[in-house]
A and B are shown apart, each in its own frame.
Chain A
Amino acid sequence: MSDTPAPPLPAPRARNLGRLLLWSGLAALMALVGFGLYRTQAGPVSSGPAPDFTLITFDGETIHLADLKGQVVVVNFWASWCKPCEEEAATLEAGWQKYRDQGVSFLGVDYVDTEPEARAYLTRFGITYPNGPDLGTRISQAFRIRGVPETYFIDRQGTLVRVKIGPIDMNELQSILDPLVTP
């Protein structure tokens, strides 16, 4: 920034240029910090069109969110090292079994995890809906998640309608999904 030890007698034009540089430097810095602050304060994406993403599942299947338009989509972020995730794992599987015939897709996004442990976790809780790693944390960054577990609900039009921070239980899952599946 301003690391000029007072050039002795600058010409007026040079001085104006210097001032301009200083002020725009300050403005740029404030804009940058403002952006950082906005990002911190904004919290998770909670409305509007859901950010699109591609999930490559542990079974090697490639799923584009955009291809699921017309269905209700439940996106759950989890990790095998996350204790609270275990509380909701069975609920999510039960929800998938209950709603899979009513046009609801469940997608599990495994946030910064190791594959063997993740697979063991899926087996342990008998999870059958598609799950895949969040490669390069791209999906979690797009949703601006704060931690795991977090669950995002997307309606048939591809609009994000609800965000659940922390583990979810069956009552809440039903109360969110029921209105979404009834046309």
Chain B
Amino acid sequence: MTYHHPSTLARAALVLFVLAIGLAAVVSWPASPARAQEPTPSDNQVNAVAKQLYCPVCENVPLDVCPTQACAQWRQTIREKLTAGWSEQEIKNYFVEQYGARVLAAPPPRGLSLLVYLLPPLAFVVGGYIVYRAVRTWRRAARPRASPPPAAEDEYARRIEEELRRRE
């Protein structure tokens, strides 16, 4: 079938092209962060990671502002890992492995900890539904007694005058 021929060729070319791009990406990818990484990471780079971690021994103190000796050591650890070219996520994982999940500012949304994130919105929705149902019933109760229509002119002025009258 000769008329298939060009199309097959085109497809092969496309595949090759994609492969080439992918290969280029793979080759160049580790190079770019390595270039961005200076030999010793600056304090700001260290703090950017430390900010997201909690001091494992003090209570509720982020690692970037904790003044104790131990925390200084941990910041040094972050610096070393950054120097070794670790990513932020790798460093966080390392800390969790070493010191337990409580070094993370919030639990990872996995397993039981998923509940942390699910319950508050759920409570809001359920609460909203309850309010909605209550309002619906109350409105039904009110419907038989039709009240006079609101005044057509400036409702606000009417309201405030009524209120002021009542206060006198």
Contact = CB atoms under 8 A, between A and B. Distances in A.
Given A5-B130, A7-B133, A81-B70, A136 B77 contact: no
A112 interface: yes
B139 to A, nearest CB: 11
A135 B98 CA distance: 5
A5 B134 contact: yes
Nearest to B126: A3
A7 B137 contact: yes
A154 B22 CA distance: 59
B42 interface: no
A136 B97 contact: yes
A79 interface: yes
Contacts of A3: 123, 126-127, 130
A42 interface: no
Interface string A108-123: 0000111001000000
A125 to B, nearest CB: 17
A171 interface: no
B108 interface: no
Contacts, number: 51
B117 interface: no
B70 A79 contact: yes
B69 interface: yes
B99 A136 contact: yes
A9 B97 contact: no
Interface string B97-114: 111111000000000000
Interface in B27-57: 56-57
A4 interface: yes
Interface string B125-143: 0110011011001100100
A158 interface: no
A137 B134 contact: no
B74 interface: yes
A8 B73 CA distance: 60
B76 interface: yes
B96 interface: yes
A133 interface: yes
Given A3-B130, A7-B133, A8-B141, A133 B73 contact: no
Contacts of A11: none
A131 interface: no
B68 interface: yes
A6 B134 contact: yes
B97 A135 contact: yes
Interface of A: 3-9, 79-81, 112-114, 117, 133, 135-138, 141
Given A4-B130, A7-B130, A7-B137, 11 more contacts: A3-B123, A3-B130, A5-B130, A5-B131, A6-B134, A7-B133, A7-B134, A79-B70, A81-B69, A114-B76, A135-B97
26 contacts: A3-B130, A5-B130, A5-B131, A6-B134, A7-B130, A7-B137, A8-B137, A79-B70, A80-B73, A81-B68, A81-B70, A81-B73, A113-B70, A113-B73, A114-B76, A117-B73, A135-B97, A135-B98, A136-B97, A136-B99, A136-B100, A136-B101, A137-B99, A137-B100, A137-B102, A138-B100
